[in-house]
Chains A and B, each alone.
Chain A
Amino acid sequence: MILRVLKAALVAGFLAACVAATLQTFLTSPLILQAETYEKAAAPEAHAARFGGMLHLAHVQHAPSDAGEESAWEPGEGFPRIAFTALATLVSGVGYALILAALILAAGRRFDLQTTLRWAIGGFLAASLAPAVGLPPELPGMGGAHLAERQIWWICTAAGTALGLYLITNVRHHAAIGIGLIAIVLPHLIGAPHAEAAASDVPAALAAQFAARSLAVAFAFWATLGLALGWYWARQENRTKSGFLSQAASGTGERKAV
C-alpha cells in the first residue's frame, strides 16, 4: 500500500513539476528577473531599514560594504537558476501529491480520475487561491510584513480552507457546513499581516501580471497533479489485478494438468 502511494505521488509530482516548471520559465521567471532590476536599482540599506532588517535580497549583488561578509550560496544565473527552480517545484509537487493521496485515503475515497482531479482543485483553492486573497503573489522587492507572521497566516488559511471544503463537500450536515464556512472565512476576517509602509519600486502593472500568471500556473500545476495521481493509481491497480488474475489462471491450469 505504502509503495503504491509513494510511486503514484512521485509520478504525479514529477509530471506536475514538468508542466509547472515549463510554464514558470516562460511566464513568471522573466517577471521575477525584471522585478529584480528595480530591486537592484533601489538602495539595499534603505530597503532593509524599511522592512525592519528582515528583508533578504536574494540574487541581488550586495553593496560594496557587504563584500567582506560571507554570503550564502545561491544558484548562478541562467541554467542553474532554472534547474534549481524546477527542483524546488519537483520537491513541492511530490510533497503535495503525498498530502493529497493521504487525504483521499483517509477520507476513504476511490482514486479515480474524477475524484483525484476534484481533490486537486480543492488543493488549488486551499493552498493557492485562498492565501492569495490576503497575500497576493509578490515579486522580489515588494517586501511585506514580518516573514514568520505571513507564513503562519498562510498555513492557517490553507489548513482552514482545506478543512472547510472537506466539511462542506463531504460531511454535508448543517452544523458541518456552518463550521466549514467559518473555517474558510475566519482567516480573512482576522486579516493577513501587512507592512505599514508597503511602498515598492516595482511597477503595479508588472505586479498585477505576475499575480495573475502565478495563479494560472498554480492551477495548471494542481490539475496535472490530480489527473496524474488518478491515472497512475488506476494503472497500478489494473496491473495488480491482471497480475493476480494471470497467477490464478496459471494456478488453475496447473491443478488441471495434475
Chain B
Amino acid sequence: MSTLTNQAYAATPSQRLVAILTAATFGLALVFISGFASPETIHNAAHDWRHSHNFPCH
C-alpha cells in the first residue's frame, strides 16, 4: 500500500522539471523587482527593504 501511495502523489520527471523552471523564473523575477528594479516608483516603494536587506540601493 505504501508503495502505491508514494507512486500516487509522486510527480513525474516532466512535472518536476516544469515546477523547477517555473519556480526559479518567478522567484528570480520577484527578487529582481523588489531588490534591483530601477524605476523610481518601485525603488521608492521598496526603499527601506532594500537598505535593510543590503540590496545596493542608491
Interface residues of A, Cβ cutoff 8 Å to B: 1-2, 4-6, 9, 20, 24, 28-29, 32, 51, 54-59, 72-75, 81, 84-85, 87-89, 91-92, 94-103, 105-106, 128, 131-132, 135-140, 143-144, 147, 150-151, 154-155, 214-215, 217-218, 221, 237, 240-241, 244-245, 248
Check A214–B54 contact: CB distance below 8 A.
yes
Assembly CA distance A91 to B11 (angstroms): 27
B9 to chain A, nearest CB (A): 4
Given A59, A96, A151, which contacts B47 in the complex, CB threshold below 8 Å? A59
For B4, list chain A residues within 8 Å (CB).
248
Given B41, B47, B51, which contacts A137 in the complex, CB threshold below 8 Å? B51
Assembly CA distance A202 to B47 (angstroms): 18
B30 to chain A, nearest CB (A): 3
Assembly CA distance A4 to B9 (angstroms): 11
Assembly CA distance A59 to B44 (angstroms): 8
Assembly CA distance A99 to B31 (angstroms): 9
Check A154–B49 contact: CB distance below 8 A.
no
Residue tally, chain B, CB below 8 Å to A: 44
For B54, list chain A residues within 8 Å (CB).
128, 131-132, 135-138, 214-215, 218
For B16, list chain A residues within 8 Å (CB).
1, 105
Assembly CA distance A56 to B28 (angstroms): 25
Assembly CA distance A62 to B15 (angstroms): 52
Which of B2-54 touch A at CB < 8 Å?
4-5, 8-9, 11, 15-16, 18-24, 26-36, 40-41, 43-54
Of B5, B29, B44, B54, most buried by chain A (CB within 10 Å of CB) is: B54
Question: Knowing A1-B15, A72-B41, A75-B44 touch, does A24 contact B49 (C-beta < 8 A)?
Answer: yes
Given B11, B30, B34, B46, which contacts A1 in the complex, CB threshold below 8 Å? B11
Check B44–A98 contact: CB distance below 8 A.
no
Assembly CA distance A113 to B11 (angstroms): 20
For A140, list chain B residues within 8 Å (CB).
47, 51, 57-58
Assembly CA distance A73 to B58 (angstroms): 16
For A85, list chain B residues within 8 Å (CB).
46-49, 52
Task: Specify the chain B residue showing the minimal Cβ separation from A89.
Answer: B49
For B21, list chain A residues within 8 Å (CB).
102
For B18, list chain A residues within 8 Å (CB).
1-2
Given A4, A56, A72, A94, which contacts B58 in the complex, CB threshold below 8 Å? A56
Given A9, A32, A55, A72, which contacts B23 in the complex, CB threshold below 8 Å? A9
Assembly CA distance A103 to B28 (angstroms): 12
For B32, list chain A residues within 8 Å (CB).
95
